[in-house]
Amino acid sequence: MALNNTESHYGSLAKGLHWMTALGIAIMIPLGIIANDAPMDNPDALAWKVQLFSAHKTLGIAVFVVALVRVAWMLSQPKPAPLHPDRKLETFAAETVHVLLYGSILLVPVSGWVEHAATSGFAPILWPLGQGLPFIPKSPELAEIAAGAHIVLERVLVVSLFLHIAGALKHKFIDRDETLARMLPSGAQSQLPATSAPKPKHLAPVLAAIVVWGAGLVIGANLGAFGHADTAQTPALQLETVDTEWQTKEGQIALSITQFGNTVAGEFADWTAAISYDETAADGVAGSVEVTISIGSVSLGSVTAQSLGTDYFDAAAFPTAQFSADIVRDGETHLAKGNLTLRGVTSELEFPFDLQLDGDQAQMSGSFELDRRTFGIGDGNQDPGQLGFDVLVNVSLTAER
């Protein structure tokens, strides 16, 4: 069997790439559905869900690579002319479906890959080449857009695939021609006659496919494919502004956890700090700080929704956390020493921090580690290989007197 295509037959490489892609899609889409629907209500179920998603993502990358090779080979080869060039509407429809298939088998894995790269944590791709993509930042907003596009484009791919299969079956059982035989691995198609019929123009089917993709994205947006489905489950408590001697102008309360050996970084978007500080106090208590955090404002990559559940932060029952501390000074050294109340549990907490003063401007930064078990977070998961015990917290702020 010849490797290259001819005007009447597909070559062995085109056939092999076609059936490899078909097999990959036939496994990848059901695997994604199964992974998405799999429960994660206990550590074993969560571990299985991660394995399913990792397999789905890894297979998706493999299908993408095969699809790239297939498209490149297709563009370099002649395409057998249609057996019924007089059926212009049918030929146009077939060409449009082919464009949708070629485009979708590239766009679906790319959108999923962008979502993965923009998200922190959960279900790594099973390869040694890293989990990120160049120029793709860690961004919940970008991840959400990519996730919506992934869902919509996957639906377009499925519909196109069904139309493609239906067309092939029509040629086989209704038209009783050799269109399907051209792509089969058997040698029966070697007897097919060549045709000098002109090939269809490609611009119109490409434009039609773009219209279909655009319509799919618009419909998906109207149906909520790009909505905040996860965060809407636990609305964050909106904190009121506090009266304070030092007013926070900007700052961050960030946290990092370890899940399945990977670092997942996040932060709390809504928090307040009431600060008093006397820079003339050389030693001892120089001030105080009262921090209130809206737990529901947390973003923690792909596990944000899970972190707000009853087994973890339980944001519905405990919408805020509080840290009340004295600011203790010993020369140039500063220490925050007080109590942290989280998930209804109060524990002593102290940590050193750096402080720089410039007139009425102050900049502070510090970090500390917490053991999640102290506050009953994730008690159902005592396997540090799945979810590490230590949580790193980084605090920074700029305040004005």
Q: What is the pTM of this model?
A: 0.81
What's the rounded Cα separation, in Å, for the pair 175 and 80? 18
* CA–CA gap between residue 84 and residue 330 (Å, rounded): 89
Per-residue pLDDT tens, the chain, 401 aa: give them: 689 998 888 999 999 999 999 999 999 999 999 999 999 878 888 889 999 999 999 999 999 999 999 999 999 999 888 888 889 999 999 999 999 999 999 999 999 999 999 988 779 999 999 999 999 998 888 999 999 999 999 999 999 999 999 999 999 999 999 888 888 887 544 445 544 444 545 699 999 999 999 999 999 999 988 875 444 456 789 999 999 999 999 999 999 999 988 889 999 999 999 999 998 887 899 999 999 999 999 999 888 888 999 999 999 999 999 999 999 998 888 999 999 999 999 999 999 999 999 999 999 999 999 999 999 999 989 999 899 999 999 999 999 99
Under 8 Å between Cβ of 295 and 321: yes
Place of tokens 């636990």: 234
Q: 3-state SS of 194-232?
A: CCCCCCCCCHHHHHHHHHHHHHHHHHHHHCCCCCCCCHH
Report which of 59, 144, 50, 137 is spatially closest to residue 105, judged by C-alpha positions. 59
Q: Lay out the sheet containing 345-358: strands in order across.
A: 271-277, 283-294, 320-330, 333-342, 345-358, 361-371, 390-400, 247-259, 262-268, 298-299
How are the residues of the chain apportioned to helix, strand and coil, as percentages rounded to the nearest 5? 40, 25, 35
Which residue ranges form the domains of the chain, and what is each CATH number?
12-227 (1.20.950), 232-400 (2.40.128.110)
User: Which ranges of 246-372 does DSSP label H, i.e. alpha helix?
Assistant: 304-307
Nearest to 299 by CA among 173, 60, 139, 163: 139
CB distance 243 to 232 below 8 Å: no
Q: How far apart are CA 301 and CA 255, in angstroms?
A: 11
Q: What are phi and psi of 229, to 5 degrees?
A: -65, -40
* Six-digit token string for 171: 């040629």
Say how far apart CA 53 and CA 119 lie, in whole Å: 14
Look up residue 326 and give its amino acid: D
DSSP 233-266: GSPPPPPPP---SBEEEEEEEEEEEEETTEEEEE
Say what the pLDDT of residue 258 is: 94
Closest CA to 105 of 26, 25, 2, 185: 25
Q: Which helix (H) or strand (E) holds 312?
A: none
Tokens for 269, please give them: 């978007």
Q: Tell me how long the chain is.
A: 401
Residue 80 has φ and ψ, to the nearest 5°, of -55, 135
Quick check: 383 and 40 in contact, CB under 8 A? no
- Of 110, 140, 178, give the one whose Cα is nearest residue 307: 140
Residues 6+ positions from 169 with CB-CB distance below 8 Å: 180
Q: Could you identify the residue written with the tokens 């993408």?
A: 64
- Phi/psi at 319 (nearest 5 deg)? -70, -15
**Residue 112: enclosing H or E segment and its boundaries?**
helix 88-118
